[in-house]
Amino acid sequence: MALTITCPVCGKRNGYEFKYGGEEKGPRPEEKDLNPQAWCEYVHMNKCVAGVQEEWWFHKDGCGSWFTILRDTTTNLEQEKKEAKK
């Protein structure tokens, strides 16, 4: 409830306006010659950092953009970052 997230379009808002989209893992791998193991790693394996991680959020009640933030998973506080992806 108390988490706040800074949307690059709408600014700082209550966390419940957003939906979590998982850790930042980079783009989908090319499918040619992709072995199932590598695919599963990409889709299902997470780092589960205790500390600051880059992660995706969707502003579902707001502007509808996907973006990443840096969040400290131990305090549930957002960290400022220089350039946000969109």
Partner 1 sequence: MKDIKRVSPVVLKSTPVKTENRNNWEIVMGYKGEGDGPYLIDLTHKQRFDYQDSNLGGQKPFNINIPEIPGNSVLDKKILMNRMNNTQASIYNFGKEDIAMPEDSGFTDVTEATLFVALVGKNIFSICEKLTSLDFLNPEKKAPFLFQGPFSHVPCQIVTLSKNLENHGLVLTCSRGYGRDMIHAILDAGKEFGLKPAGEERFNHFVSEL
Partner 2 sequence: MMNRLDHMPTLKIDGFRKIGFIYKKKKYYGVEGDTVATALYANGIRIFARSLKYHRPRGLYSLDGECSNTCMEVDNIPNVRCENTLLKEGMVIKEQNVKGSAENDMMSFIDKMDWMMPAGFYYNTMHKPASIWPIAMKQIRKAAGLGTLSPDFEMPGIYDEIFPTTDVCIIGGGPSGMMAAVAAAKKGLRVIIMEARPWLGGFFEYRSSQYKPGKDKGSQSLHDRALELDREVNALENIRVFTHTSMVGAYNNNLITGFQIGKESDLFDQRYIEIRAKSVVVATGCIERPLIFDNNERPGVMQIGCALRLANTYGLLPGQKAVFSIGHDLGLEAALELSSLGLNIELIADIREDGQNPELLQKLEDKNITLLKGWVACKANGKKRVKNVELSSIDGLASKTVSCDLIVASAGMTPVTGPVTIAQGKLKYDAHTGFFLADKLPEKIHVTGRLLGLDNPLSIETSGTIAGLQAALDCENCSIKEIGDIKKSLKNLPGPTRGTKLVTAPVKGRKSFICFDEDTTIKNIKQAIEKGFDVPELIKRFTSAGTGPGQGGIPGHNLPLYVAKYQALPDISIKPTTTRPPLVPTLLSTYAGTNHIMLKQTPMDKMQREDGGIFRNIGVWQRARYFSNDLTCKKEIENIRSNVGMLDASTLGKFRIHGPDALKALQRVFVSDMSKVQQGRMKYSAMCNDDGCVIDDGVITKLGENDYYFTTSTGRAGQTVEWIRYHTRYDKWNFHIVNLTDSMGVINLAGPNARKVLAKIVDMDISNEAFGFSEYKEFNIKDCIPVRAMRLGFVGELSYELHVPSSYMLSVWLMLKDAGKEFRIQNFGVEAQNVLRMEKCHIILGQESEQRTNLLDVGLEFLWDRTKADAKTIGAVALSQAEKDKDRFKLVGFKMEENGRAPHDGSLIVDEKVRGYVCTARDSFSLNEAVGMALVDGPLSKIGTRLEIYEDECNGKRIYGKVVEMPFYDPEGSRMKM
Q: Which residues bind partner 2 (CB under 8 A)?
A: 1-4, 14, 19, 21, 26-28, 30-32, 34, 36, 39, 43, 56, 58, 60, 64-66, 75-77
| Residue whose structure tokens are 């209550």 | 14
Nearest approach, Cβ of 14 to partner 1 (angstroms)? 6
43 vs 46 by CB, closer to partner 2 = 43
User: Residue 81 in contact with residue 8, Cβ under 8 Å?
Assistant: no
* 66 near partner 1 (CB under 8 A): no
